[in-house]
Structure 1
Amino acid sequence: MNVETLVNDVKNRADVVVTRGQEVIEAGFETLKAANAIIVDGVQTLVQTQVAAGKELIELAQASLEKAKADGVKAVAANPIAYLPEGKDTVVGAYTETVKTVTKTGDQLAKTLASGYDSITAKIAGKKPVVKAAKKAVRKTATKAKKTAAKAAA
């Protein structure tokens, strides 16, 4: 065994390691990009839900104050419960939507991260990962996020 053979062997093995490392970095970046899109979409949905609920609660409170102002102090003192804003349905609806959004976002994020992990593990082992589903999920989420952002901007 001569030195030239050893150098070529080490060089070939190093090339394989570098190539796999680059593939791992690319797969990790794509996974993080997909996760970011999912998180941004979920946060935008949550913000929209909470802002809409807040606006509705403010409107209900203003209507209640106007009613109290119109009826006078004696009427409010006689029956104060009648002047409380009716915001229960709004709060419960916002809570329900928030739970649905957080659950859906968490499930999508878990699937994306698991797929990314499987992809990275396969690349490290030198196997061809199954990334069609992950790429499809990334495209779908990115398109949905763009649509949500366009709605929010409008």
Structure 2
Amino acid sequence: MNVESIVNDVKGRVEPIVARGQDVVFSGFEVLKSANGIVVDGFNGVYKANYEAGKSLFGAAQTSFQKVKTDGIKAVASNPVAYLPEGKDTVVSAFNTSVDVFVKTGDDLVKTMKQGVETLSAKIKGEPVIVAKAKKTATSARKSAKSTASKVEKKVSKTASKAGKAADDLIG
């Protein structure tokens, strides 16, 4: 055997491995991109829920403070509980919404990562991979995270509206 045939033989064996390696890296990047989208959507849902709850609580505190200023120290000293802002429902709702979003996001991440590991394992072994299935799983996970975030936003908006009405009833 001459050197040229050995080099060609090694080249023929190495090139498919390198191609598979590049494919694995690209697929891994796609899985991480999908997971990142799911995490970002989940974070946005939690952020919006807690932001709206914070705004609602701040408004209730301002209303309570104005009531204290109007009624005076004697009235507050005689019945301090009446001047506490109503925020329990808002806080509980924001907490429950956050828990729901975290659970949903975690489930979506597990599905996406499991599918990604199966895809990467198949590519490493050189088996055919159903790419459409992986993309479909990632897309459905992203859609469900956005749907959950939308539901969270609506729920927080309703809670904030109720808190605003309650504050208006207290003032008026």
TM-score range with shorter-chain normalisation? Answer: 0.7 to 0.9
**Aligned equivalents of 1:75, 1:144: Cα separation in 2:** 48
- CA offsets per residue over residues 17-42 of structure 1, 9 Å max, x none? 01101110111011011011101101
CA contact (8 A) 2:38 2:145 kept: no
TM-score between the two structures when normalised by the length of structure 2: 0.78
**Aligned equivalents of 2:105, 2:113: Cα separation in 1:** 12
Look up the match of 1:85. Answer: 85
**Aligned equivalents of 2:103, 2:49: Cα separation in 1:** 15
Residue 129 of structure 2: SS of its match in structure 1?
Answer: coil
**Aligned equivalents of 2:46, 2:145: Cα separation in 1:** 15
**Aligned equivalents of 2:93, 2:132: Cα separation in 1:** 37
Look up the match of 1:58. Answer: 58
TM-score between the two structures when normalised by the length of structure 1: 0.87
Structure-2 change in CA distance of 1:45 and 1:95 (3 Å)? same
Residue 46 (structure 1) aligned with residue 54 (structure 2): no
Unaligned runs of 5+ in 1: none
What is the Cα deviation at residue 5 of structure 1? 4.1
Question: What fraction of aligned residue pairs are identical, expressed as a percent?
Answer: 49
Unaligned runs of 5+ in 2: 154-172
Residue 118 (structure 1) aligned with residue 154 (structure 2): no
CA contact (8 A) 1:34 1:142 kept: no
**Aligned equivalents of 2:138, 2:122: Cα separation in 1:** 19
How much is the aligned-residue C-alpha RMSD, in angstroms?
2.0
**Aligned equivalents of 2:42, 2:137: Cα separation in 1:** 15
Structure-2 change in CA distance of 1:109 and 1:143 (3 Å)? closer
What is the Cα deviation at residue 132 of structure 1? 2.2
Look up the match of 2:170. Answer: none
Look up the match of 2:75. Answer: 75
CA contact (8 A) 1:115 1:131 kept: no
Residue 8 (structure 1) aligned with residue 8 (structure 2): yes
Structure-2 change in CA distance of 1:23 and 1:112 (3 Å)? same
Residue 103 of structure 1: SS of its match in structure 2?
Answer: helix
**Aligned equivalents of 1:92, 1:143: Cα separation in 2:** 23
- CA offsets per residue over residues 54-85 of structure 1, 9 Å max, x none? 00000111111111111111110001011111
Count residues in correspondence: 147
Residue 23 (structure 1) aligned with residue 23 (structure 2): yes
